[in-house]
Each structure stands twice: as structure tokens, then as C-alpha cells.
A = this chain, B = another copy of it.
Amino acid sequence: MDAGKIKIRPTIDLAQALFSPRSVALVGASGDEAKNTARPQRYLLKYGYAGKIVPINASRSEVLGLQSYKSIKETPFTIDHAFIMVGDVEDALEDCGKAGVPVATIFTDGFADAGAEGLARQQRLVARARALGVRLLGPNSMGMINLAGRCPITVNAVLAMDIPPAGATSIVSQSGTMLGTVLSRGAARGLGFAKLVSVGNEADIGVGEIVQMLAADAETRTILLFLETVRDAATLERAARAAHAAGKPVVAYKLGRSALGQRLARSHTGALAGEDAALDAYFRDCGIVRVDMLETLIEIGPLLAERRPPDLARAPRVGVVTTTGGGAASVVDRLGTHGIETASPDAHSPIIDLTMGKKAATYGAVVQELLAFPGCDAVLAVVGSSAQFDPQHAVEPIIRGNTGSKPLAVFMTPQADQSLALLAQAGIAAFRTPEACADALHAYFSWRSPRQAPVGAAIPWPGELPLKGKLNEEQGLHLFKTLGVPVVETAIARAPDYAHPLAYPVALKILSAEVTHKSDVGGVVLGIASRQDFESKAKSLAREGEPLLVQRMEQGLGEAIVGYRDDPVAGPLVMVGAGGILAELYNDVVIRLAPVGEAEALEMIGQVKGFEVLRGYRGRPPGDLAALARAVAALSRLALIKGRPVREAEANPVMVGATGAVAVDALVLLDEQVRER
């Protein structure tokens, strides 16, 4: 720091510096109004930013009417927030460090978004920022907009529009453009926002840390996330729990439903794309509401604001009132595909269909009646043509009839901008499309409180097992057994006589850890009934006198597969599915964050279709699914092993009998590097 210009900095916390800085340096501010890099200054002035705007421009002393400086370190001001738009980010960062700037937002791209070299550059940048004590938003961030605070620090072209209303919903986006999408579409229907943050590459400050700040932000009631991936699952989980504790719903729209989308997210963001089903489990277990459609993210806010997760144990029921049968059906049909039912005080009619002739008073009274009706969990109000030009017929009665006692969703069939704005003003969730309306109700009903993970002490790794590579089947079964998974009675048989203590019939397997699908290569013989038969089979199976695995033959009523995976994005997961080829062909599996307790495991099992055969299907004897649940819970304790050395594990099949469930095979892959966490 320049010794001659010591600046006294009153303490400022990160959230304040990020969202409400008292001064902003615009590094690379252009004097050419037409350029992107001129926008931040124009926007700050347009929005009436009350703090100090400090343009930094290497070749000018004035930028669009404001005095500018060659570099941050030459300014006489204390800078709370620097917005960096120049190519030489590293140099600008040094200046920030010297000037004691607490946070820098980096618009410049060419870091992790640009391949391996860019990633290395980013890692160096972050290391240097840490050393300098500067926190970073970005790189490749479009910036931040604090609407209520009249502080937009962004190049986003969306701010060319009229100043949108401020509201109580904040959004964090991994796509800068999508920030503008939410803001412009929201504004067009009267929806206001509090804070909008483009996190870019999340080199330092990530989605999780921003959500943590918003959970504590007085102006934010609902938090929306536009995600292409999750880079900081543990931080985001903590933040989501904090938001839940603060009564603030967190809603995520996440790309990557398809493998194609996952590849694209990877190529576009340079980030790992976790498996979508894993992230689904992650969101659910964090208490984050996931929506399927983009506009749902924009429109769902008022449906969730001030609500708690419904945590329903039965099929959800919606009370429906409409002035158009076709319009109501377009929403209800989709609700049906999600297993949501309708309920009405009139037992003869699934929905209340008010024809055009009915008076406005009727509509409002019906809304009130449904909101009070104990048979439904939420209310859907559908409005036809009158929504376009005559809000007094149905839209205004809905507003008057809304007691707030239940979530209320409104779908209007025509183009109805004025009515959308009226409902937004009244804090009522209104939807442009029947699909987004159904998606929002489905998302609401799928919303769960953050789960209470079973408490468990760290489990030591059994010292007798190796800590690298792949376990052989005996070792795998041994590991499962130490966790409490019932495993098949097993022995090792060795040359020359292959003696073993098990009663016949038995199964015989080669023991190599290298062969994953033993039965595909003839490495398994089942149903050996006698000692004599056993000896000849053993001799033909064992290569060069290798030891063999002998197992008691287990008969089950059905087969299950139980798996575990330490996902690079979502963390430890446990999976249960129907055995045989069903899990693979039909993806008939259910995934949750690990570890799970027995009750949660039983709930997972309840969602596997293939287990129908074990639930008394067509008079078949029922299987012991409670025992299977115990096995799932036990296997999921792999997540508690100190250092989490297991990358993947699978018990396939687990034989489910009339009483009990037994793992008869084990596959365990260990991490290349044991993580110490």
C-alpha cells in the first residue's frame, strides 16, 4: 500500500460490501456509452445509487461525466466493492489487495470456463486473492443487482428496461443471462425482486455462501436458484438449512435432467455435473424445492412465501374452482400425472365449475370455502376469458376471497397481463401456463423439511481390510457385515482338498477382485448338492490352486440391489432397487443421501415398483421388506466410515425371504486417495 495514503476502513461485513457497498470501483469502465463496460456506471446512476461511483480507466481522467482514475490504488477513496471488467484481472486484483478492497466481482471470462489452462489461471487467482484478503465473486460473473438498495453492479443488458419493482424474492444464478430472464419476465407480470446475484465460475464465493447471506438478509423472504451444477454441496446444504430455520423457502431450477444436458453443462461451465437423480435426492434432503420448468421458478415465489414444507404422508389434494372446464382440465390433467388428486366439498363433482353466468360474489365465496375446506391441502383457481379485460368478474373476487390459510395458485387462460400484475401485487401466485401451474403445485407438495440424518459416530475402517483399490468378494461381505448388513454364510476353500465347514447345497465362486461380473465369465457355480460334486467343481474352477469362495445357497422370494456411491457433487448416496434386470432396464431405483435410518429406507423401498412382487402381488407370499430396510440402512453407514474411503459399493443381489434379507454378493471400490474429512 502506498505509504502516503493510509485509508481508515470502518468494519464492513461481506454481505454489506457485496450487496450494499458505500463505494464501487468500476475497473475498465468505458467512456463509450455503447459498450458493455459502460453499462455498470449508467445503471448505477439510473437507479440512483447513493454511494460513490469510482470509474477506473487506464487511459482517461473522466468517464461519462465522472472523474476516473488510472487504477484503484490511485483513488483517494475507500472502495468497498470493485467490479473488474479488464483483461488483466491479476493486476486489478493486486490493486484491490493493496487498497484493502474487501470484495471484487470479476466480469472477465477466460478462467475455468475456458478449459484446463483457464482453470489453472483461476486457481492461481484464488490463491492470490486469499493471500491478499480479497473475496471474489466470479470470474465470468454478470454481477449483482440489489433492487431495494438501488445498487446494480452489473453489465446485464436487462437493466435497459424500466426500473422494476422491488420485492421479497432473491435469486442466485450460475447463468448471468438467466438473471435477466427472471428479472425481465418477472417485471412484465408485476413480480418484484430483492437481490439478484450472478455467481459465474464460483471460484471463491459460491451459491452456498450467497444463500447463507440471503438467509440472513432482512429483505429476502424467498430464495431462487438457477443452477447448471452444484459446486459446493456441503455449504449449500448448511445454507439451505439456515434458510429453512429462518422460514425462507429455497427453490431450485437445475439443468442436467438428460445426459445431453449434463454434457453441455460440463462443457459450458467446466464444472463436474453430478448425476441428476443424485441431485434430486440432495435437494430433497436439504429441504430445497425443485421445479421442472423455467417459468415455475419465476412464478412460484408467492405460493411458497411464508409456508412450511407440507410433509404430507398421503396423496396431496387440491380444491379446484374454475370458470372454464377446459382451462381447469389443462392443469388438473397434469396434476394427475403427478399423483395429485382433486377434492371438493361437493362429493358429486371433482371440481367446482362456475359458468360465466354466476356472479362475482360466487367466485370469491367459493375460493373462501375451498381455503377453509379441510379435505384439500391447496387451492387452484382457474379463470377464463374474463381475466383479460374484466378482472372484476373473477380475479378481484379471488383476491378478496384469499384468506391465506392455504397455498393458492391461479391460472388464467387468456393473455392477461393486467390480472397477473393485480395478483402479484396481492401476493398471490399466478401462472401463465397450465404446465407451470401444475409444476408449482407438484413442487410444493414434494417439498420436505430438511431431513434429520441419523446420528452416528464415525466408524473406524476394519484394520484387516486394504485401503486402496477393489475389495474381493469375501472382503466386501466382511465389510458389509461389520456395518450390520446380514450376509450369506461364507467360507474360503483352498487346494488341495477344498475343505469347508458349510452344509450343502452351496455356491462356489472364484475370488478375484478383478472380475466384476463373475457369472458372465463362468466364475460361479450354483446349487452344488454334495461333497463329491463340490470337489470336482472346485478343481475345475480354481485356476492354479487359487482359493475359492463357498457360500450357503440362499433362496429368496425376490431379489433386491442395494448400492452406495460417494457422488463427487452430492456426496454419499444410498440406492435400493429391484433386482435382476429391473433396476437396470427400467431404472427402478430410489436414491437418498446416506446414511439413512430404517424408516427412511422403508419409505425408499415403498417407491420401488419392482418390489410389488414382494408386497403380495397376485397372492404371492410377501417378502420381509423391513429386513431389507435394515440392510439398506446398515449399508448406508458406509458414509460414516472415517475418511470415507469407499467410492462405490453394491450388494447385488440381496435375497429377500419371508423372514430376513441376506446379501449374497459384494462389490466394493475404494477411493484412489483417501479423503481426510
What residues make up the interface of A, taking CB atoms closer than 8 Å to B?
36, 109, 156-158, 160-161, 173-178, 180-181, 184-185, 187-188, 226, 228, 255-261, 263-265, 267-269, 293-295, 323-330, 332-337, 340-342, 349-351, 353, 355-356, 384-386, 388-390, 413-415, 433-435, 517, 520, 581-582, 585-586, 588, 609-610, 612-613, 617-619
Q: Are B333 and A388 in contact (CB under 8 A)?
A: no
Which one, B157, B181, B260, contacts A342 given CB within 8 A? B260
Would you call B261 and A157 a contact (CB within 8 A)? no
Task: Tell me the number of copies of this protein.
Answer: 2
Chain B residues whose C-beta falls within 8 Å of the C-beta of A323 in the assembled complex: 177
Does A160 contact B389, Cβ atoms closer than 8 Å?
yes
Q: Which residues of B contact A332 (CB under 8 A)?
A: 260-261, 264
Are B324 and A177 interface neighbours, CB within 8 A? yes
A542–B581 alpha-carbon span in the complex (Å): 38
Closest to A265 in B: B329
Contact B260 A333 (CB under 8 A): yes
With A175-B325, A268-B353, A351-B264 already in contact, the answer to whether A333 and B157 are too (CB < 8 A) is no
Q: Let me know if A267 and B350 touch, CB within 8 A.
A: yes
Asked if A184 contacts B260 (CB within 8 A), the reply is: no
Of all A-B residue pairs in the complex, the 7 with the closest CB atoms, nearest first, are: A175-B326, A258-B336, A261-B333, A260-B336, A177-B324, A157-B385, A177-B384
Closest to A356 in B: B36
Choose from B158, B384, B582, B609 the contact partner of A180 (Cβ within 8 Å): B384
| Distance A433 CA – B582 CA, assembled complex (angstroms) | 35
Please, which residue of chain B has its CB at the minimum distance from the CB of A263?
A: B350
Bound CA span A176–B327, Å: 10
Contact partner of A327 (CB less than 8 A), chosen from B161, B178, B434, is B178
A350: nearest chain-B partner, CB-CB: B264
Pick the contact of A330: B255, B384, B582 (CB < 8 A): B255
Besides the known contacts A261-B334, A264-B350, A586-B586, 12 further A-B residue pairs in the complex with CB atoms under 8 A apart: A157-B385, A158-B385, A173-B326, A185-B414, A187-B415, A255-B333, A259-B336, A261-B333, A268-B326, A295-B433, A517-B618, A585-B610
Write the chain B residue with the least CB distance to A348. B267
B413 pairs with A181, CB closer than 8 A? yes
CA distance A432 to B173 in the complex (A): 20
- Assuming the contacts A180-B385, A414-B185, asked whether A258 and B334 have C-beta atoms less than 8 A apart, the reply is yes
Q: A333-B264, A586-B588 are in contact. Are A181 and B414 (CB under 8 A)?
A: yes
Q: Which chain B positions have C-beta within 8 A of A330?
A: 178, 255, 294
Query: Whole-angstrom distance between the alpha carbons of A521 and B576 in the complex?
Result: 33
CB A585 to nearest CB in B, in angstroms, measures: 5
**A384 contacts across to B, CB distance below 8 A:** 177, 180
Across the interface, A157 reaches (CB within 8 A) one of B181, B390, B517, B520, namely: B390
Contacts of A350 in B (CB 8 A): 260, 263-264, 267
Which of A176, A326, A330, A341 has most B Cβ within 10 Å?
Answer: A326
Question: Could you give 13 example pairs across A and B, Cβ below 8 Å?
Answer: A109-B355, A157-B389, A161-B388, A175-B327, A177-B413, A178-B330, A180-B388, A181-B327, A258-B334, A258-B336, A264-B325, A294-B433, A294-B435
Establish whether residues A257 and B385, one from each chain, have CB atoms under 8 Å apart when the complex forms: no
Q: Are B156 and A326 in contact (CB under 8 A)?
A: no
Task: Tell whether, in the assembled complex, residue B353 and residue A160 are in contact, meaning their CB atoms are under 8 Å apart.
Answer: no
A517–B618 Cα distance when bound, in Å, is: 10
Contact of A188 among B175, B351, B415, B612 (CB under 8 A): B415
The smallest C-beta distance from A360 to any residue of chain B, in angstroms, reads 13
Could you say which residues of chain B place their CB within 8 Å of the CB of A351?
A: 264
Separation of A243 and B582 alpha carbons in the complex (Å): 43
Report the nearest B residue to A393, measured CB to CB: B157
Give the docked Cα–Cα distance between A258 and B330 (Å). Answer: 11
Q: Are A329 and B228 in contact (CB under 8 A)?
A: yes
Contact between B267 and A414, CB atoms less than 8 A apart: no
A253's nearest neighbour on chain B, judged by CB, is: B330
- Report the bound CA distance from A327 to B619 in whole Å: 52
> Which residues of chain B are within 8 angstroms of A586 by Cβ–Cβ distance?
582, 586, 588, 609
Partner pick for A177 among B173, B257, B326, B337, CB 8 A cutoff:
B326
Query: A180-B385, A228-B329, A612-B585 given as contacts; is B175 within 8 A of A341 (CB)?
Result: no
List of B residues within 8 angstroms of A188 by Cβ: 415
Residues of B contacting A327 in the complex (Cβ-Cβ under 8 angstroms): 175, 177-178, 181
Q: Considering only CB atoms, which chain B residue lies closest to A159 in the complex?
A: B385
Cβ-closest chain B residue relative to A180: B385
Residue in B257, B269, B326 whose beta carbon sits within 8 Å of that of A334 in the complex: B257
- Residues from chain B with Cβ under 8 Å of A173 in the complex: 326
Complex Cα distance, B329 from A181, in Å, reads 14
When C-beta atoms are compared, the residue in chain B nearest to A188 turns out to be B415
Do A337 and B257 have beta carbons less than 8 Å apart? yes
Question: What distance in Å separates the Cβ of A143 from its nearest Cβ neighbour in chain B?
Answer: 13
**Residue of B with least CB distance to A586:** B586
**Complex contacts, A174 vs chain B, CB 8 Å:** 326
Inter-chain CA distance A104–B334, complex, in Å, is: 35
